Structure 1
Amino acid sequence: MSRLEDGFGRRFHYLRVSVTEVCNFRCTYCLPDGYRKSGPQSFLTPDEVDRVTRAFADLGVSKLRLTGGEPSVRRDLPEIIARVSATPGIDKVALTTNGWNLDRNIAAWRDAGLTNLNVSIDSLDRAAFQRITGHDRLESVVRGLDQALAIGVPTVKVNGVLLKDGVQDGFDAFADFVRERPVAVRFIELMRTGDNAAFFADQHIPGGRLTDWLQARGWRPRPRAFDDGPAVEYAHPDYAGRIGLIAPYAPGFCDGCNRLRITARGKLRLCLFGELGVDLRDLLQGDDADALKARIQAALVGKPRGHRLAEGISGDTRQLAQYGG
């Protein structure tokens, strides 16, 4: 039972830890001009990740996701995965990656203890993938995903941002993609951030476009697990995989929130689209676990009921790579 509860009765079993703000892709909706260094890259060390993981595990967190930026830019990522997976109480160790050199790294990550893999693929059209990401690497990314399935990574998922330009053809292509692959493809509604206002105005479409498409073709929603993220996934008897939607603009989206975030610089982020954060870095450099857990629990008093995206307010989030999405 989680000991992490906010003022609205929500319990938290799921922690996302960003290990870097650096990303080597230039996605149109996030970092169209590429990563720009804004200060010293004093990101969390393996020891600090270990300490924050143990504190949250003691408080009832059982699922931890490593994010970025792009986490694989860190050469010590296998060590971080191994240390997280060895933490008592952590049952699931997940990673979100853009798939850069996934085919070279996935075996080492699996051996280190990775249980859940999310790969970002915004289009299955090679030219569109290159246009969105700035890199012609679709084939190697898919090869890495298929390798993850082949070596037995327990859970493999695909994340794609829902963009106006790719709606109809994109749905058809991803349905074919999961016909034989036991993976979940989740489309994420494009979210307004501090840096993407013009792109958002041009490319945002509501998630109902996807759910209408799915239901018209016989796809049906499946039950959610207690530690699932925010996606609603749909299944079909003729397909090995699933298709889902993360719809942050839907009414009540935040009511079932079960996740917290640690930034790459050691702040506890109560909401992706909130303001500031609670600094834990000083306590991550020592061994006072009780003080660390007390600060975490005290911080939950300030967690808001929900974000304000529908009002065009995205907090101080400039782009999603900043806090790990």
Structure 2
Amino acid sequence: MGRLVDGFGRRFRYLRLSLTEVCNFRCTYCLPDGFRKTGPLDFISPLEAERVVRAFADMGVGKVRLTGGEPSVRRDLTHIIARTSAVPGVDKVCITTNGWNLQRQIDGWHEAGLTNLNVSIDSLDPEGFRRITGHDRLGSVIAGLDRALERGMPAVKVNGVLLRDTAASGFDAFAEFVRERPVAVRFIELMRTGDNAEFFADQHVPGAVLTDWLATRGWTRRERELDDGPAVEFVHPDYAGRIGLIAPYAPGFCDSCNRLRVTARGQLRLCLFGELGVNLKDLLEKDEPEALRARIVAALAGKPAGHRLHEANSGDTRQLAQFGG
């Protein structure tokens, strides 16, 4: 089978597959008013999810991340994990979750074939966590994460959005969090979307506030692996875990892009902050693998060199839950 390469020579080994637009958190930077239904909830089925994963795996993708919204609002998530992990060529099955169901479900997810876990934790202060997410569940989320570590899951990561209100106080707490835990904590620079312009103006801080903090404390940069996401990670000999940064406003951020996205409605997104998408749903419903692969390859000709966030242009992305972040 052919490999997925765009017009700029970037090879794609990593698929982010959204399973739903629904999220049960009300994070200040994404869905401060909670999820609001804007159309039928006719999201991708387990069979369609398997078909799209198989198409990408046939073209060299070995890492699949299941996202949302919040993927665990789907009762069939464990089934989808199992179908994904059974696809030949897929060696990493990941989810990104807010942790709502993590403590109750992690055992089943792992047994179904989950290899990588990303948990969103924006603050280790219980009140700060409640203020950002709208829920007082920090203890349960951390318990679920620790259970994943107990099971020996090889890749457990924490995602936290870098906010002006929590940056300075949060770094020390997260460093202590990874002192004994082999976890990668990655801070994501706040991105402007269609719905958060005022919040962005108030809360955005550059990623340099973190990298400067790390440099003064002896953390050094870790080499990237081929199918890594966009994070730059740092290590320290006194800590079991790592701390990283995802900085979409940094120069050259898009140069090493290695991931493509399929939305919960079966649209191929060439860029998170692009316009529209390429419909795959009709081919997923009919099970036409050759035509599906051909449409994906043809679409890559339209992938842009990079996003336009520097121009305050986030495409048609209203909020990150819409397309899976």
Q: TM-score scaled by structure 1?
A: 0.99
8 Å Cα contact 1:2-1:61 kept in structure 2:
no
Q: 1:153 deviation in Å?
A: 1.3
Match of 1:299 in 2: 299
2:124 pairs with 1:124: yes
Measured in 1, the distance between the counterparts of 2:286 and 2:258 equals: 28
**Counterpart in the other structure of 2:186:** 186
Structure 2: which 5+ runs fail to align? none
CA distance in 2, matches of 1:138, 1:72: 17
Cα distance in 2, alignment partners of residues 2 and 281 from structure 1 = 22
Residue 215 of structure 1 aligns to which amino acid in structure 2? A
C-alpha separation in 1, matches of 2:271 and 2:149: 32
Matched, 1:46 2:46: yes
Q: Deviations over 1:93-146 (max 9, x none)?
A: 000000002110000000000000000000000000000000000000000000
Q: Deviations over 1:76-107 (max 9, x none)?
A: 00000000000000010000000002110000
Counterpart position of 1:103: 103
The residue matched to 1:36 in structure 2 has which SS? coil
User: Which structure 1 segments of 5+ residues have no match?
Assistant: none
Could you tell me how far 1:213 is from its partner in structure 2?
0.2
CA deviation after TM superposition for structure 1 residue 154, in Å:
1.4
CA RMSD across the alignment: 0.7
1: CA distance, partners of 2:178 / 2:304: 37
Partner of 1:154: 154
Contact residue 6 and residue 303 of structure 1 kept, 8 A: yes
Alignment-mate amino acid for residue 91 of structure 1: D
Q: 2:166 is paired with a residue of what secondary structure?
A: helix
Letter in 2 for 1:98: N
Letter in 1 for 2:128: A
**1:220-261 Cα shifts (integer Å, max 9, x gaps):** 000000000000000000000000000000000000000000
Within 5 A, what are the aligned runs for 1:217-236? 217-236=217-236
1:287, distance to aligned residue in structure 2 (A): 2.1
Deviation of 1:189 (Å): 0.1
**Equivalent residue number for residue 286 of structure 1:** 286
- Partner residue, 2:253: 253
Distance 1:62 1:317 in 2: 27
2:136 maps to: 136
Question: How far apart in 2 are the matches of 1:180 and 1:287?
Answer: 47
Percent identity between the two aligned chains:
75
Residue type of the alignment partner of 2:300: L
Tell me which amino acid in the other structure corresponds to 1:124.
L
Superposition misfits of 4+ residues, deviation over 3 angstroms: none
Separation in structure 2 between the aligned mates of residue 151 and residue 6 of structure 1, nearest angstrom:
38
Partner SS, residue 40 of structure 1: coil
Q: CA deviation at 1:168?
A: 1.4
Aligned counterpart, 1:29: 29
Please list the CA deviations of residues 295-323 of structure 1 after superposition, one character each: whole Å capped at 9, or x if unmatched: 00000000000000011000000000000
* SS, match of residue 94 in structure 1: strand
